Structure 1
């Protein structure tokens, strides 16, 4: 993990940039804020810009920036992303994440997720405690590639912590730390796996048992689990939203899940910590926790980043940073 801790002077610099972006809109406009953040990003502290540029160039798998400004009058944690969207809760923190994120890639969103918002709110919602979405709490979120089903999935998934009173861990496993048996590696490199949209895209709620997805969805994207460079391959995996095309591939999924779980580490984000997870080299998940719905629950902002925005445009009929459903 690569980490940078900001100084008080650097935090003040970033806070001033946020002030300027927020003041430019009489009414909070997230899309306009995204554009303004991209324009202002070159004015970030030099040490931070250099750190993020190096992370991109070296393909750092897990990158953390610590000490980003969190407003002292942060509102209570909303009980669901929709309430956060309506109120603009935590919009200053959204800008902080956008400012840093643009140093690694271009922000984008999904028409099928959180009403097409660019920056998502990750907070527990009543009735969703055991779902397979970021609105859950009581259920462990398995190690997974974000949006595993789509060719335009993020290169980086970034999370900025606003609150985490129970030190709930984000779990991570790096493909570079794994030792796959040759026989398993050979199967994982073949197009014998089918990947499906997750519940946040479809609105369908599954039980979370491995294999359920193959019984409820008839389509999906077929491809390998391991791909790219021979010695340093990329990885895509989500046991809850993938299935094998044959019995051996199904067995390979179970074996891979065990290997990933045994190699997992954790990052317990504190307020002001932003983690940038390479979605091609790392699978991530989340530990379970007890949501209280008292305004003090865990609350993160999430942003998807693409290293090549033209990849999105080439798979769309417009130059939009929102991928159609």
Structure 2
């Protein structure tokens, strides 16, 4: 799945940036132990609140145990939840910390400053992205990014059917 971040409005001070780190670059700087652990199903991802509105009274909706990095070493895929990842063992928590440190490494962390009318396309399987903090004024001038998800097929979502209306717009 791809994310498309469309910039409708930049923050007034033009300080907000989007960070991106490619899974190949992340894997290249991780030590062998961390990489081995990140490739094992020792993690649970927390679902974003917008995906689990039906689950009233729950602070967290965690996935089954999954690996964070998978696929061939030459073209790894990576999956991390922005709402939190829980390592199931102390070693998994240590590997997760190494992953976070790698993502902050200036050699692999790319910074993109989006201006109105610009879009950033991100393959969510091949890299990680985050947005920086910036002062919010709540006066109608704050940064406004519109997120769109792009999928080749909805087939993998067929068991999640709900009455939320159409998911494809022409």
Band of TM-score, shorter chain: 0.7 to 0.9
Contact 1:156/1:276 (8 A) holds in 2: yes
TM-score (norm 2): 0.80
Question: Which residue of structure 2 aligns with residue 157 of structure 1?
Answer: 3
Distance in 2 (alpha carbons) for counterparts of 1:305 and 1:321: 14
SS of residue matched to 2:116:
coil
* Structure 2 unmatched ranges of 5 or more: 54-58
Distance in 2 (alpha carbons) for counterparts of 1:244 and 1:295: 39
Match of 1:194 among 28, 34, 44: 44
Distance in 2 (alpha carbons) for counterparts of 1:239 and 1:271: 24
Contact 1:159/1:275 (8 A) holds in 2: yes
Please list, as runs of the form range in 1=range in 2, the aligned pairs for 1:136-151 lying within 5 A after superposition.
none
Distance in 2 (alpha carbons) for counterparts of 1:199 and 1:318: 16
* Greater relative contact order (CA < 8 Å, ≥ 6 in sequence): 2
* Structure 1 unmatched ranges of 5 or more: 1-154, 204-215
Contact 1:235/1:282 (8 A) holds in 2: yes
Distance in 2 (alpha carbons) for counterparts of 1:217 and 1:293: 28
Please list, as runs of the form range in 1=range in 2, the aligned pairs for 1:101-250 lying within 5 A after superposition.
155-164=1-10, 165-167=12-14, 168-178=16-26, 179=28, 180-201=30-51, 217=60, 219-238=62-81, 240-250=83-93
**C-alpha distance 301-161 of structure 1, shift in aligned 2 (>3 A):** same
Higher helix share: 1
Question: Which residue of structure 1 aligns with residue 124 of structure 2?
Answer: 279
Q: Which has the higher Rg, Structure 1 or Structure 2?
A: 1
**C-alpha distance 237-218 of structure 1, shift in aligned 2 (>3 A):** closer
SS of residue matched to 1:222:
coil
Distance in 1 (alpha carbons) for counterparts of 2:43 and 2:18: 26
Deviation at 1:199, TM superposition (A): 3.8
The one-character-per-residue Cα deviations of 1:211-231 (angstroms, maximum 9, x if unpaired) are xxxxx6474231101112232
Contact 1:312/1:321 (8 A) holds in 2: no
Contact 2:45/2:86 (8 A) holds in 1: yes
TM-score (norm 1): 0.44
- Number of equivalences: 155
Deviation at 1:317, TM superposition (A): 4.4
Greater displacement, 216-225 / 169-178: 216-225
The one-character-per-residue Cα deviations of 1:78-105 (angstroms, maximum 9, x if unpaired) are xxxxxxxxxxxxxxxxxxxxxxxxxxxx
Contact 1:159/1:276 (8 A) holds in 2: yes
The one-character-per-residue Cα deviations of 1:280-309 (angstroms, maximum 9, x if unpaired) are 111111111111122222112210111222
Greater displacement, 192-201 / 167-176: 192-201
Deviation at 1:186, TM superposition (A): 0.9
